Amino acid sequence: MLSDRDFFVVEPSEGELLNSLFEDEHPLYLEIGSGKGEFISRYPISHPDWNFIGLEMSEKRIRNCLKKLSVELNPNVRLARKFVDAGISQLFRPSSISGVFIQHPDPWPKRKHHRRRLFRQDFLNSLAQILIPGAQVQISTDHNEYASWIVEEFLQNPHYTSMQDDPIQLHPNLDEHIVTWFEEEQRRLGYHPHFMLYERI
């Protein structure tokens, strides 16, 4: 019998594209860094005609996500254990992704670690290749300095435009926002997320 892990988790081999994980042709959305799985288990339920892949590098976190997923409620979800970086364009067909969600990417606060940050030009260029024009990239972080860094990186990149009057918003109108475990923890400590929304031009 197929286990939940067999159903949800894919371990792509080198060069394998993840577009064909689903049998239907529904729009494909990504979450990067699914953590304990609040977003990937809940948001797709209200979007049954979209497919979602959670890209998460940690095996422990993949197991956390699996505890929240069920084949009955989440048939449109898959998880891939992957470290995401500028190689993301090797995982999907060009212009095939309808949107990306990233909540609380690791901020790597020390200056000597800034080169490990996800939001850098090489990643944004690579992501641009796989996004459909009009696809949105939704980001939240409670880290002030990383939020400003992210805005600056997007500003320097020709492939995106901010969808907000102020590129960083503290109280955006995100009716469907899912509060993740990390967000809840940080709010308890007095930190509030900054929200950013970009569109692939």
Ligand X SMILES: C[S@@+](CC[C@H](N)C(=O)[O-])C[C@H]1O[C@@H](n2cnc3c(N)ncnc32)[C@H](O)[C@@H]1O
Q: Which residue from 28, 51, 183, 196 is in contact with ligand X, where contact means CB under 6 A? A: 183
Q: Which is nearer to ligand X, 5 or 187 (CB)?
A: 187
Q: Is 40 left (phi over 0), alpha (psi -120 to 50) or beta?
A: alpha
| Binding residues with ligand X: total (CB under 6 A) | 20
What is the pattern of x (binds ligand X, CB under 6 A) and - over residues 132-161?
------------------------------
Catalytic residue, chosen from 24, 49, 85, 106, is 106
Q: Which residue from 15, 83, 165, 188 is in contact with ligand X, where contact means CB under 6 A? A: 83
CB-based burial of residue 106 (10 Å sphere; 0-12 exposed, 13-18 middle, 19+ buried)? middle
Other CB atoms closer than 10 Å to residue 166's CB: what's the count?
10
Helix, strand or coil, per DSSP, at residue 201: coil
Residue 25 beta carbon to ligand X: minimum distance, rounded to whole angstroms: 26
Q: Which residue from 41, 103, 126, 138 is in contact with ligand X, where contact means CB under 6 A? A: 103
Q: Which is nearer to ligand X, 32 or 97 (CB)?
A: 32
Of 171, 110, 111, the C-alpha closest to 140 is 171
Angle at 48 between CA 44 and CA 52, to 5 degrees: 45
Residues that bind ligand X (CB under 6 A): 32-33, 35-36, 55-58, 61, 83-85, 103-104, 106, 118, 180-183
